[in-house]
Structure 1
């Protein structure tokens, strides 16, 4: 037990020093982070409460919809936790640079594995907790349950995380021992394929079309019966859902104890299975991961990519861009995530292709354009999530070689703008796919196509600049694995500021776009005084994007120049 505490202490002390710090600047940063986090939770809580309040006001099926939504939320969270733990476990158990030191220490294998298991839970679960807790509290606010709900939420939520972590870690250990270390790429590709298939199954489990297409049923009673039917009775998320729902509705009868025992027995069982499996195969898998890798093909393609990227830039940035591209494609944990991104884009576009717009009581042309406008916020969130994973760690990825850059003639400003130029083209391409393709599926008007495309084109410049800037403001050159960089304080701050940035853009454009669209729909002209509101709004969007590019890059440059 003493060795376990020692193995966990570096992470605990690191978190304490990051949050508390000894300097005044560190304390201000902590208070600022807490304040923004509280604002975000209040926003999520308000939105969730509004939706649940609306559901509760609907007679007969209101509670059924709320129950079904709770099941969907917990199933999605559980699925995300499993996949996140699979990816994170590969880094924490096999690829971290401090593992050689840990394995050479007197620590017992069980304690070492358990410490890495706890690391994996911490790295993979914090985002789901941040997004999920306001939703769960909104249920409590609307349904006013007793204290038993909060106790059940705490201990069952923890058990659900342990089950997801156990499944992810066990799956990773088995794969690493099935495949030789030289074929780590195949492991990640198999994980990606598994994720795509599981995503499809998850969407089929949810069957969301039942909530928006009651006409698919022969009668209202059949529709209600379908909503009552459990979707996934053998998953831990279902057991947690049923237990929490009974506390929300004040029904503490039969089934509650059984569901609690099922969740906790699953958590204990998966932990025991993981410990047995680790004793048998973990060290052998770690030894395989230390073997030299075979040289892979594709060198000519990398040469072509680096040559293309180097042409418009000077020789000083050429070597950095060359290194950046090669390091990205040599690291299987990095480039393989492009497959996951591809799956995300496919699912994203598919969701828009199956929207039952023709069944809405709202005129279809209004609904199409309204969804297209709101889609800018959703697409912006996807771009921000991609950016925090790939662009935010760009500065920290220099690692311990950063001192070479600082001692070279290359200025910090040119270094950051070189990174910026490298990541802009793929982000512009991704934004174009998300916006233009969805708008074509929705068959929006030319006005909405132009507004959405132009807005997202400008917003990408700000999203990428904030990713580079925040990465320079909060660098971590001593990371154990690059995946940890995006989950740091700076990564959270970046996600919060990009969300605020996108919300302001949509807020500035909402009124003007509505006025112009309604004028076109009615075939009338826009009053002169309205143009004095429309033009400043669009100018404000342009100015905001300019500030979002200039300010983070300037602050990042100053931070890099002052870094010691």
Structure 2
């Protein structure tokens, strides 16, 4: 017995199928064309991305592998504490995916030219949402895979998990990422409808609330009683992490399912996989329904809310900035203020900045509870340099992504700056001061926090403070100078400018600069402290007098290299900028 469909539904069903096929074909053609263009014109960029990704993955893998081997000396890896740690890890990634996917979906739905075009076509609203949602999930989930896969592989090798464990991780991953992505999309569409003029305020308050929660959790872990890795301490940690074991958290289903598959408990693994996948489907269905009913209305409200109203907060920011930096020339202050306003008006910039540096600060605050403070001076020195290196690498990513494209973005609007009584080199110096100011404030705070948590010697703290200042000035000079020497005046998207040849070359030079400075200062300290900790087994030992000599030499060489990395790119950029025709 067949049920006859209404004629309207019979007409709409083939149209919906054709729309879905057309959008899938468009996505495939875009991916094919982008891949072909990258292979033909950006082989250096692909090689750099692949190399950095492999190095990052291997670094995390060996870090997690060493951590599991270290923990196995104290507790059984099938113990409850491992499930707590996994649940906390996936809960953190859940929150990160919620924020990142929400921001990407909001930009894709309400500030994308493709969305504007698709809304004028006969395509239904939910099909447009599905098309943009798939792109947002692809952009946000690769980072989750890059962070989660080395953890799960390292754990699987440590406990000798079966082969099916590694295949199940991919299935769990695909189901897990749909849940925060769908919830983030729902929040993005609701914010566009309810707060069309206050979306940045809502985002700022959300990030502030997340940072407060992270600070509170870190403070609770820091107050855990007992000595590190003792039974009392482990019990206190489990009590404070009990919230991540709530049966309604998707991270709980993810961790429990993966641990069950590692133990060859396929029944429980399948049970948690069904729970996770069914909730993923339910969350996406809810997001599609919300998009069907509210997307067009929210798009109209967002586009209609744009105005040129003046804000009193900006006037207060202007006056405060001029008072604090009175020693700078007035034109330079105006240029820095312009770039600062542009930075604050773009949620994609300051939200990523806060998330990355906020996570680093959260980790540094919890260093005492990881046991490094009671380790030998050798381990404290090693961890301090690793923390400094991570901070410098994130800073290089920030300067390559946001500072390098600054001058290219001025290309089409340069006639406005040309009307001001400014020389062209003043524009470059203004961007250099903007980059160096933001970099110094954020990184110096993180490095001092890390060293204080590690209980480092005041002289080592002073050395690290000087190192990060050298790196900030050098990275800012490289990004501003190469941005003027290798501009892309035809592109208005800063992410595409940063991903081009100039941005890739800038990132490569920045990485070489960081490696040279950090290595020159870290090797003498390492040889000295390894001799103090393992005098019998160390092959090379540096005495205190030798440490002073080589540190003095390394500091002089680093200062000279920093001066060259700051001045030479800026001089090259100034000469190219002065000859440039707009």
Same fold (TM over 0.5): yes
Question: Residue 254 of structure 1 corresponds to which residue in structure 2?
Answer: 267
Deviates more, 1:332-341 or 1:506-515: 332-341
Question: Residue 391 of structure 2 corresponds to which residue in structure 1?
Answer: 379
- CA distance 1:192–1:69, shift in 2 (3 Å): closer
3-state DSSP class of the match of 1:290? helix
Residue in structure 2 matching 1:240, options 254, 258, 264? 254
Deviates more, 1:39-48 or 1:251-260: 39-48
Question: Residue 143 of structure 2 corresponds to which residue in structure 1?
Answer: 127
Residue in structure 2 matching 1:86, options 95, 102, 122? 102
- CA distance 1:224–1:185, shift in 2 (3 Å): closer
- CA distance 1:488–1:59, shift in 2 (3 Å): farther
- CA distance 1:171–1:456, shift in 2 (3 Å): same
Is 1:106 paired with 2:122?
yes
Deviates more, 1:344-353 or 1:416-425: 344-353
Deviation at 1:16, TM superposition (A): 1.3
Is 1:16 paired with 2:29?
no
Q: After superposition, what is the alpha-carbon deviation per residue over 1:396-415, rounded to whole angstroms, capped at 9, x for unaligned?
A: 54475479889999998765
Contact 1:52 1:66 in 2 (8 A): no
Structure 1 Cα separation of the partners of residues 482 and 141 of structure 2:
23
Question: Residue 30 of structure 1 corresponds to which residue in structure 2?
Answer: 46
Residue in structure 1 matching 2:555, options 533, 538, 555? 538
Is 1:4 paired with 2:23?
yes
Unaligned runs of 5+ in 1: none
Structure 1 Cα separation of the partners of residues 474 and 197 of structure 2:
39
Residue in structure 2 matching 1:165, options 181, 203, 225? 181
Deviation at 1:261, TM superposition (A): 0.2
Structure 2 Cα separation of the partners of residues 357 and 337 of structure 1:
28
Residue in structure 1 matching 2:362, options 340, 347, 353? 347
Q: After superposition, what is the alpha-carbon deviation per residue over 1:309-346, rounded to whole angstroms, capped at 9, x for unaligned?
A: 7974596x777545423433444665577766785576
Structure 2 Cα separation of the partners of residues 43 and 451 of structure 1:
26
Contact 2:477 2:570 in 1 (8 A): yes
Deviates more, 1:497-506 or 1:260-269: 497-506
- CA distance 1:512–1:403, shift in 2 (3 Å): same
Count of equivalent residues: 548
Deviation at 1:516, TM superposition (A): 6.7
Contact 1:123 1:487 in 2 (8 A): no
Question: Residue 280 of structure 1 corresponds to which residue in structure 2?
Answer: 293
- CA distance 1:519–1:266, shift in 2 (3 Å): closer
TM-score (norm 1): 0.79
3-state DSSP class of the match of 1:104? coil
Question: Residue 536 of structure 2 corresponds to which residue in structure 1?
Answer: none
Deviates more, 1:68-77 or 1:306-315: 306-315
Contact 1:176 1:187 in 2 (8 A): no
Structure 2 Cα separation of the partners of residues 414 and 544 of structure 1:
24
Structure 2 Cα separation of the partners of residues 296 and 441 of structure 1:
40
What are the residue-to-residue correspondences of 1:51-450 with 2, within 5 Å?
51-56=67-72, 58=73, 60-64=75-79, 66-179=82-195, 181-199=196-214, 213-215=228-230, 217=232, 231-249=245-263, 251-291=264-304, 292-293=306-307, 294-304=309-319, 312=328, 320-321=335-336, 323-331=338-346, 334=349, 347=362, 350-352=365-367, 360=374, 362=375, 372-384=384-396, 386-387=398-399, 390-395=402-407, 397-398=409-410, 400-401=412-413, 415-440=427-452, 443-450=455-462
3-state DSSP class of the match of 1:182? coil
TM-score (norm 2): 0.77
Is 1:44 paired with 2:60?
yes
Structure 1 Cα separation of the partners of residues 284 and 348 of structure 2:
26
Structure 2 Cα separation of the partners of residues 498 and 71 of structure 1:
36
Deviation at 1:31, TM superposition (A): 3.4
Kindly report the root-mean-square deviation, in angstroms, between the aligned alpha carbons of the 2 structures. 4.6
Contact 1:432 1:453 in 2 (8 A): yes
